[in-house]
């Protein structure tokens, strides 16, 4: 694998799954979790959270397998959806990227 391809893989990984949660809050708080596939190198789970008009907080985790990536994604989402107090989030959008979805993009 060439060095250019490896670098591009880290800069522009392919999306696999994306989930967006939003809260009924004055500043429209959001929480987005995505799984990104790195060619020949595993998966990145990227979490972006924040509010409208503010800079997002972004965190990332690496997993070797898709099952490990999905487990981490579900852990992050369930933590927000199980809350009983404070800012309550609800699911707005869930996208699973397949070959057909990629052709439409």
**Hey, where are the domains in the chain?**
3-104
pTM, 2 dp: 0.77
Q: Can you list the alpha helix ranges (DSSP code H) found in the chain? A: 3-11, 66-81, 99-104
| 1/23 Cα distance (integer angstroms) | 43
Asked whether 22 and 89 are in contact (CB, 8 A), the reply is yes
pLDDT at 99: 52
Q: What is the mean pLDDT of residues 12-36?
A: 89
* Mean pLDDT computed over 44-59: 93
pLDDT number for residue 98: 62
Confidence (pLDDT) at 61: 95
The average confidence (pLDDT) of the chain is 82
What would the pLDDT profile of 84-97 be if each residue is shown by its tens digit?
778 888 889 888 87
């Amino acid at each position: 694998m060439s060095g250019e391809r490896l670098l591009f893989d880290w800069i522009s990984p392919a999306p696999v799954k994306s989930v967006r949660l939003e809260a009924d809050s004055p500043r429209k708080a959001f929480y987005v979790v995505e799984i990104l596939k790195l060619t020949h190198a595993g998966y990145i789970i990227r979490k972006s959270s924040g509010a409208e008009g503010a800079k997002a907080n972004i965190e990332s985790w690496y997993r070797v397998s898709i099952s490990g990536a999905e487990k981490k994604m579900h852990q992050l989402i369930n933590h927000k959806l199980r809350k009983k107090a404070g800012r309550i989030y609800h699911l707005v959008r869930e996208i699973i990227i397949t070959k057909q979805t990629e052709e439409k993009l």
